[in-house]
Structure 1
Amino acid sequence: MAEQSVKTELMQRLDEKKDRMFGIRRYLHAHPELSFKEDKTAKYIQDFYQGKDCVIRTNVGGNGIVVTVDSGKPGKTIGIRADFDALPITEETNLPFASQNPGVMHACGHDGHTAYMMILGETLIEMKDKLEGKVVILHQHAEEVPLGGAVSMIADGALDGVDNVFGIHVMSEMETGKIFYRPGNVQTGCSYFKITINGVGGHGSSPHKTKDAIVAASHFVVALQTIVSRALSPFDVGSITIGNFDGKGSSNVIKDKVILEGDVRSISDEAQETIEREIRAKLNGISTMFGVTYDLDYKNDCPVLYNDPETTEFGIKVLNNTDIPELTGVEMCEPQPPSEDFAYYAKERPSMFFYVGATPENGKAYPHHNPKFDIDEKSLMISAKAMGSIVVDYLIGK
């Protein structure tokens, strides 16, 4: 079949560029930039594509870059996405290419995503006469903070004309050599809230003249614990975390104000809505019970990431039917607890987001966002070949 010979050529070309791919990853790792401040990284990506036979859009929704590879033939349009921001973490890996920017680190693998995508993009440009339709490469900034780069890029037309979107995340705690996937809801949605409990302060010797904000806030924190256990279906999943309880004061002063900040995670839209409704209801109850008022800032930062079953089935069929030498298995995984702003693309177009195992060769796998985080660079070649195979079969497969 035509797509098989094209995939074989694609993989041969990728193999020839392995050292360049790893070199790009190491350069990016040494020069990380925080979300919405990735100016030099964006310029680096832009310069890479300059002079190549493609259309480049820069400053898409901020620092985003959209590269369109047009075969010149009619057909579908596939979007493929990689993110490129880093985190406010001080690196502790002792790698020879460790971060040169104090307090900033690629601790999530976005350097690897960008490196494989750049080399894959270059190769697809070189081979575009063998394709049909278009490839839209989404180099996305600011994935790590809400509302991230996906929202602004979509608003700026990044998905115009795109039929489906595919994305990859390398995973340090998943076995290198394997690809993992799951149809349906695959990563949690997240919400943020900030609550100010307003009471009436006073002297500790006269509590009857006060409305104690600390007591009211404490009861609220305890009441929150019943939402997941009593308001959610036992077949649904959610979590609520109070990460900040700011009630510092003097031992003999009853506080007039307490600030709480929290995080909500859920694996369904219904759970996300239920948790928000219950938080508001419990605040109203606490307000009545203790005679306090409250101010609530509640933000749904990221929706649940939904893998379209038909699109996912297509992607897995391609991977199972393609000979990728480095790939040892394709397995279904459990839903993943972190949130991911690829979910916004998946809300706009039928999409598939999957995972490439990247446990370091020495077997010491640190979790994402850890100062010692690292990946096995073999995962980059697997990512490039897997995504490249999906692109080829999507555009010319029958």
Structure 2
Amino acid sequence: MEEKDLKKLVEKHRDAVVALRRHFHTYPEIGGKEFKTQEKIMAELAALGLEPRKAAGTGVIAELQGALPGKTVAIRADIDALPIQDDCRQPYQSQHENVCHACGHDGHTAMLLGLAKVFTDLKGELAGNIRFLFQPSEERFPGGALGLIEAGALDGVDAIIGAHLWQPLKVGTIGVTYGRMMASPDEFSITVQGRGGHGSMPQQTVDPILVGAQIVLALNTIVSRNVDPMENAVVSLGVFKAGDIFNVIPDTAVLHGTVRTFEQEVRLKIFERIEQIVKNICEAAGASYKLDKFFGYPPVFNNPAVSKVIAAAGCEVLGPDGVVEIKPVMGGEDFSYYLQKVPGAFVYVGAGNAEKGIIYPHHHPKFDIDESALAYGVEIMARAALKLLA
């Protein structure tokens, strides 16, 4: 197909994709409850002559078979929103209280429907098949990827690609890696059991706040002193709760944090050090503890060959300067489960634009995207899929 012809097809469906994105932004649904979203996706796909089926509860799988035999390439979009109050202050602001597409999944869903429209137009000259995967619950562990895989999402698939609209990258660019892309998002919770008492008589207590504070400081030495400085790793604490009254030393303190790694050996070493640190500090203070560990998604490792295909597609659409090799990101993504099964790659599509005030990060109430990123995403993913089929 001529380059200009594909660009024309994307342009033909541009307004529809933007309208779909705004629809999903207006009516968001959190993971596991995307019933209306699923209904809308099913209707859009059926209108194209496809035969979508429900999967993984609120997900959707559909396949477009080309006129000629060939490989099968899957393209995935996540469809769930977040439990956040929307404050984007646009006509398409969320109508559902405390539910918001503050991560761009509305755009991912719209782009994949746009791809379905483009490939339906190309069906007569397409050699191979495109499988469209609309995945629920990416934001809620254990995610929806495993459910889709169990429903046959990857059966017979030769390669899979996925895209994430990314506010830190300016619109008109894409971010690629040729290996490490996103980390394992693990969690831990520590409950320090001390002995409470009056603040004026601390000698009669085992102060869990003091113990917890020492744990916080010690945990922040793990990455700097126990992990190879050339290795990617993060240990961060986001919760420290203890006490309710200014002059009473409480019985307990609760700490909750996250561990982000790429390598299993590093992952296990960090959790081993957390256990050692908590155990020794609590024993020295006369406190006891309970440590709970929660292992999240595997890390996202892109297949280098598939990443190169997406990068080549990006160069065709955006020019060489529009394709940026980025550093790995320590956020997590259950796209990793697909990559454990078939070759594939995940890419960031730039969606930030400071001139338009689109500067707020993902998961922020004012998060929004530059909607011109949608057409770029559709065309790049379409070109990448065609290259993979070939």
Instruction: Give the corresponding residue for 1:380.
Output: 374
Q: Please list, as runs of the form range in 1=range in 2, the aligned pairs for 1:328-367 lying within 5 A after superposition.
A: 329-360=322-353, 362-364=355-357, 365-367=359-361
Give the superposition deviation at 1:32.
Answer: 1.3
Report Cα offsets for 1:123-154 as digits up to 9, x if no partner. Answer: 21332232222211111111122221123222
CA 1:281 to 1:74, structure 2 compared with 1: closer, same or farther past 3 Å? Answer: farther
Match of 1:317 in 2: 312
Q: Residues 125, 93 of structure 1: CA spacing in aligned structure 2 closer, same or farther, 3 A cutoff?
A: same
CA drift at 1:326: 8.7
Structure 2 match to 1:57: 53
Structure 1 residue 272 displacement after superposition:
2.2
Give the counterpart of 1:218 among 197, 206, 213.
213
Q: Write the distance in 1 (CA, Å) between the matches of 2:109 and 2:362.
A: 17
Out of 37, 40, 62, the position equivalent to 2:36 is 40
CA distance in 2, matches of 1:270, 1:9: 49
SS of the equivalent of 2:331 reads: coil
Match of 2:145 in 1: 150
Letter of the structure 1 residue corresponding to residue 165 of structure 2: V
Counterpart of 2:388? Answer: 394
Give the structure 2 partner of residue 177 of structure 1: 172
- Tell me which amino acid in the other structure corresponds to 2:171: T
Q: What is the root-mean-square deviation in Å for CA atoms of aligned residues?
A: 2.3
SS state at 1:220 partner: helix
Q: How does 1:237-386 map to 2 (within 5 A)?
A: 237-251=232-246, 253-320=248-315, 322=316, 324=317, 329-360=322-353, 362-364=355-357, 365-386=359-380
Question: Structure 2 CA distance, aligned partners of 1:284 and 1:164?
Answer: 46
Does the 8 Å CA contact 1:178/1:327 hold for their aligned counterparts? no
Q: Quick check: 242-251 or 175-184, which moved more?
A: 242-251
Q: CA deviation at 1:203?
A: 5.0
Which stretch has the larger CA shift, 202-211 or 268-277? 202-211
What are the Cα deviations for residues 146-196 of structure 1, in whole angstroms up to 9, with x where unaligned? Answer: 221123222333222222210111112312111221111122221111122
Structure-1 residue corresponding to 2:12 = 16
Q: Partner letter of residue 28 of structure 1?
A: F
Tell me the CA shift for residue 31 of structure 1.
1.1
Counterparts of 2:175 and 2:202 in 1: how far apart (Å)? 58
Equivalent in the alignment of 1:27: 23
Is the aligned partner of 1:188 residue 2:183? yes
The whole-number CA distance in structure 1 between the counterparts of 2:321 and 2:226 is 42
Query: 1:277–1:55: structure 2 CA closer, same or farther, 3 Å change rule?
Result: farther
Letter in 2 for 1:214: I
Q: Distance in 2 between matches of 1:136 and 1:337?
A: 29
Taking structure 2 as the reference length, what is the TM-score of the superposition? 0.92
User: Could you tell me how far apart the structure 1 residues matched to 2:150 and 2:271 are?
Assistant: 26
- Whether the 8 Å CA contact 1:326–1:382 is kept in 2: the answer is no
Which 5+ residue runs of structure 2 have no aligned equivalent? none
Aligned residue identity for 2:64:
V
Q: 1:81 to 1:90 in 2, by over 3 A?
A: same
Letter aligned with residue 42 of structure 1: Q
CA displacement, residues 296-318 of structure 1 (integer Å, 9 cap, x when unaligned): 22111122211111221232234
Contact kept, 8 Å, 1:237 with 1:271, in 2: the verdict is no
* AA aligned opposite 1:228: V
2:112 aligned partner? 117
Gaps in structure 1 of 5+ consecutive residues: none
Q: Give yes or no for contact 2:142–2:297 (8 Å, CA) kept in 1.
A: yes
Q: Identity over aligned residues, as a percent? A: 35
Secondary structure of residue in 2 paired with 1:138: strand
CA contact (8 A) 2:172 2:318 kept: no
Q: Which shifted more, 43-52 or 70-79?
A: 70-79
Are 1:182 and 1:332, in contact at CA under 8 Å, matched by a contact in 2? Answer: yes
1:315-367 CA deviation, whole Å, 9 max, x = no partner?
223433x3x37996222122223222212222222211111111237342221
Q: Is the 8 A contact 1:54 1:70 kept in 2?
A: no
Hey, what's the Cα distance between the residues in 1 that align with 2:91 and 2:245?
A: 49
Distance, in Å, in 2 between the alignment partners of 1:225 and 1:361 is 34
Q: How far 1:62 sits from its partner (Å)?
A: 2.1
Tell me: CA distance 1:254–1:115, structure 2 relative to 1, closer, same or farther (3 Å): same
In 2 relative to 1, CA 326–122 (structure 1 residues): closer, same or farther, beyond 3 Å?
farther
TM-score (normalised: structure 1): 0.90
Deviation at residue 206 of structure 1 after TM alignment: 6.1
Tell me which amino acid in the other structure corresponds to 1:359: G
Residue 75 of structure 2 corresponds to 80
Tell me how far apart the structure 2 counterparts of residues 26 and 51 of structure 1 sit (CA, whole Å): 19
Equivalences for residues 154-173 of structure 1 within 5 A:
154-173=149-168
Matching residue's letter, 1:75: G
Cα displacement string for residues 210-235 of structure 1 (whole angstroms, at most 9, x for unaligned residues): 44333332222121011011011011
CA distance in 1, matches of 2:114, 2:65: 17
